[in-house]
Amino acid sequence: MNMQTLARSYLEKAKKRLRVLEVLLEEEAYTDMAWEAQELVESAIKGMLRHLGMDPPKWHDVGPVLADQEHLFSEGVRAEIPRLRKISKRLRKEREFAIYGDIDFIPTEEHTRDDALEAIADARFVVATASRAMAEALKAPERSADESGVSAPAAESLHGLQLEWAL
């Protein structure tokens, strides 16, 4: 298996989860939709990063990593990265509330149909953008990969970001 195959696998999983969101909407399981939409968005964005030859970090909101690599995408995809990043950040936060709730936030009482419809729209947008990104030729020169399979520019960016997050 190579990075491109794995990237396509991530995207395929995200596409299948779109159908799960429809079922959850029919069941009025709005809290579960927040959780599932976040997982779907995470998978699609991590697929975009794998498509670049990166091994994405093991945290849920990888929007900042995607933004750091935006120069490797076509102009059309680059234009969408701020929205992808915003969606990823918002859904990561919603995921935590959906799973754990809080003393003043009972997920099944707080999440609404409007929240669910927004999650579906955002998830569809992310999957469509990830599909387009993987279908288009990257605007980057040939990159050499280190033994971990991460391209040199990606490894440098990821290393700096991990240090920033650790502080």
- Nearest-angstrom CA–CA distance, 125 and 10: 16
Closest alpha carbon to 94 in 64, 126, 58, 122:
122
The CATH number linked to 118 is 1.20.120.330
Per the structure, the count of domains in the chain is 1
**What pLDDT is recorded for position 151?**
47
Q: pLDDT tens digits for the chain (167 residues)?
A: 688 889 999 999 999 999 999 999 999 999 999 899 999 999 999 999 999 888 888 888 899 999 999 999 999 999 999 999 999 999 998 888 787 888 888 888 888 999 999 999 999 999 999 999 999 844 444 444 443 444 444 444 444 444 343 33
Is residue 66 within 8 Å of 48, Cβ to Cβ? yes
Is residue 31 within 8 Å of 37, Cβ to Cβ? no
Instruction: Give bridge partners of residue 102 from the DSSP assignment.
Output: 105
**What pLDDT is recorded for position 97?**
77
For residue 134, the enclosing domain spans: 3-166
**What pLDDT is recorded for position 83?**
97
